């Protein structure tokens, strides 16, 4: 296995998008628990997210240098290997920095505190994903210019996924790193406590309208060239599909437990607390929207669609 990985390292796992901007493909094709990273071979070495491949990251650090990690947001598949880089400076958006600095804040952002899944995720995030509180050396705001040696990037804060989700635009090379606006077949995640369906839609459209030549995402197919307008529309249509499925299910009054067990987002055959939480987190956003618009009502512990 080790030999196979070594062979791959020069070809498949590292892809040169530009002379000094490289893609490190995540394990399992960039599917959770992994996420693709960017490596900027400039400014002492800069890694954008660190959930891709620990061996590649450590090899790059040794051979080419690594001075800074820029976190696009605080999710576990993006900080997965941060614990292995204790001597590297970490940058993040001002809005997302607190969740990287405090475990309780992270759990609060996930909406887990006091929930039935709190114990499960406390151990998952601290043990499997080795969460360690990390001081953020630089807090980044929307529109800020970041300079890594001769390489310049502009910060695009795209709320909805997380409140400070950071995308990075590299104008000289026409590259835009979309991170978890990932255009995947799974569809969007907006289930964090500060997550928002409407903000997610707005951010996706704003990102597509930038009109970059090369779009890089954190999961599945890493590189999307040219206009992403139709891909973005297909990606956002998962939101409507989920809401229609929920509306249909609520023709009869249902409890939250029944909604979770219906597996509207993940589909059948996905038991356990990880999927329970995901269904709860996303379906809660749809229910809140439907209740606010008068499209659903609540009676005791049951929800029902109106009309
Ligand atoms: Zn994420």
- The pLDDT of residue 13 is 83
Measured CA to CA, the distance from residue 6 to residue 132 in angstroms comes to 29
CA distance from start to end of the chain: 58
In the reported structure, the alpha carbon of residue 172 is separated from the centroid of ligand 1 by a whole-number distance in angstroms of 27
pLDDT tens column, 184-213: 999 999 999 999 999 999 999 999 999 999
Q: What is the pLDDT of residue 307?
A: 76
Same domain, 203 and 285: no
Residue 241 lies in a domain: no
Q: Is residue 9 pLDDT above 90, yes or no?
A: no
Q: What's the 162 CA to ligand 1 centre distance in angstroms?
A: 7
Q: Are 65 and 44 in contact (CB under 8 A)?
A: yes
- Residue 188 CA to ligand 1 centre (angstroms): 9
Query: How far is 94 from 216, CA to CA, in rounded Å?
Result: 23
Q: Which of 209, 235, 261 is the endpoint of a domain?
A: 235
In the reported structure, the alpha carbon of residue 269 is separated from the centroid of ligand 1 by a whole-number distance in angstroms of: 23
Q: What is the mean pLDDT of residues 123-145?
A: 98
- 92 and 129 assigned to the same domain: yes
The percent of residues above 90 in pLDDT, for the chain, comes to 95
Q: Give backbone dihedrals phi and psi of 47, rounded to 5 degrees, phi first.
A: -110, 130
Q: Rounded to whole angstroms, how far apart are CA atoms 85 and 58?
A: 8
Predicted pLDDT of residue 291? 98
* End-of-domain residue from the set 211, 235, 259: 235
Asked if residue 279 and residue 148 are part of one domain, the reply reads: no
259 membership: H or E segment, kind and range: helix 256-261
pLDDT value of residue 306: 93
Measure the CA–CA gap between 110 and 102, rounded to whole angstroms.
13
pLDDT score, position 2: 31
Provide the CA 245 distance to its chain's centre, in angstroms: 24
The answer on 86 and 39 residing in a single domain is yes
Q: Quote the number of domains for the chain.
A: 2
What does the alpha-carbon distance between residue 108 and residue 279 come to, in Å, rounded to a whole number?
17
Domain end (from 235, 265, 282): 235
Residue 43 resides in a domain? yes
Residues 215 and 262 in one domain: no
Query: Please, which residues have CB less than 5 A from ligand 1, an ion?
Result: 75, 180
Quick check: pTM over 0.85?
A: yes
What would the pLDDT profile of 24-75 be if each residue is shown by its tens digit? 999 999 999 999 999 999 999 999 999 999 999 999 999 999 999 999 999 9
Rounded Cα gap, residues 224 and 186, in angstroms: 16
Give residue 5's pLDDT band: very low, low, confident or very high (50, 70, 90): very low
Ligand 1 centre distance from Cα of residue 161 (Å): 6
Residues spanned by the domain of 206: 2-235
- The alpha carbon of 184 and the centre of ligand 1 are apart by a number of angstroms equal to 12
Instruction: Tell me, in angstroms, the distance from the centre of ligand 1 to residue 252's CA.
Output: 33
* One domain for residues 257 and 123: no
12 pLDDT band, cuts 50/70/90, is low
- Same-domain pairing of 227 and 256: no
Distances from the Cα of 295 to the Cα of 23, 73, 155, 197, 245, angstroms: 44, 33, 37, 16, 14
Q: What is the pLDDT of residue 8?
A: 46
Pair (295, 176) in one structural domain: no
Q: Ligand 1 mean position to 2 CA, how many Å?
A: 29
Same-domain status, 74 and 101: yes
Beta bridge partners of 298: 303
User: Residue 7: its pLDDT value, please?
Assistant: 37
Compute the distance from residue 242 Cα to the ligand 1 centre, in Å.
Answer: 19
Give me ligand 1 centre to Cα 298, in Å.
30
CATH number assigned to the domain comprising residue 32: 3.60.15.10
Q: What is the pLDDT of residue 10?
A: 44
For the stretch 267-276, pLDDT in tens is: 999 999 999 9
How confident is residue 4, by pLDDT bands cut at 50, 70 and 90?
Answer: very low
Q: For residue 112, which phi and psi values (nearest 5 degrees)?
A: -90, -20
- Is 93 a domain residue? yes
Domain shared by 30 and 114, yes or no: yes
pLDDT interval class at 106 (50, 70, 90): very high
Q: Does the residue 54 lie in any domain?
A: yes
Q: Check pLDDT > 60 for residue 148.
A: yes
The pLDDT of 136-144, averaged and rounded, is 98
pLDDT over 70 at 302, yes or no: yes
Distance CA 267, CA 263 (A): 5
């Amino acid at each position: 296995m080790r030999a196979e990985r070594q062979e791959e390292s020069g070809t498949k796992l590292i892809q040169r998008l530009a002379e000094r901007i490289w893609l490190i493909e995540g394990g399992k094709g960039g599917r959770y628990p992994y996420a693709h990273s960017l490596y900027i071979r400039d400014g002492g070495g800069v890694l954008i997210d660190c959930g891709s491949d620990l061996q590649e990251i450590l090899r790059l650090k040794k051979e080419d240098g690594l001075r800074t990690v820029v976190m696009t947001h605080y999710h576990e598949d993006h900080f997965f290997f941060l614990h292995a880089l204790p001597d590297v400076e970490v940058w993040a958006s001002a809005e997302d920095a607190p969740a990287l600095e405090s475990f309780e804040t992270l759990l609060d952002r996930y909406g887990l505190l006091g929930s039935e899944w709190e114990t499960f995720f406390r151990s998952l995030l601290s043990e499997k994903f080795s969460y360690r509180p990390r001081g953020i050396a630089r807090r980044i705001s929307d529109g800020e210019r970041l300079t890594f040696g001769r390489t310049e990037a502009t910060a695009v804060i795209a709320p909805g996924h997380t409140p400070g989700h950071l995308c990075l635009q590299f104008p000289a090379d026409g590259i835009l790193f979309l991170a978890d606006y990932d255009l995947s077949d799974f569809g969007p995640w907006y289930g964090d406590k500060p997550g928002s369906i409407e903000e997610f839609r707005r951010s996706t459209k704003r990102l597509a309208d930038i009109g970059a030549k090369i779009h890089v995402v954190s999961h599945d197919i890493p590189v999307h060239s040219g206009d992403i307008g139709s891909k973005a529309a297909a990606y956002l249509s998962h939101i409507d599909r989920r809401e229609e499925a929920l509306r249909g299910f609520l023709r009869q009054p249902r409890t939250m437990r029944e909604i979770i067990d219906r597996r509207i987002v993940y589909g059948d055959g996905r038991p356990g607390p990880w999927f329970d939480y995901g269904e709860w987190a996303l379906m809660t956003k749809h229910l809140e929207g439907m209740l606010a618009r008068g499209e659903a009502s609540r009676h005791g512990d049951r929800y029902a669609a109106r009309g």
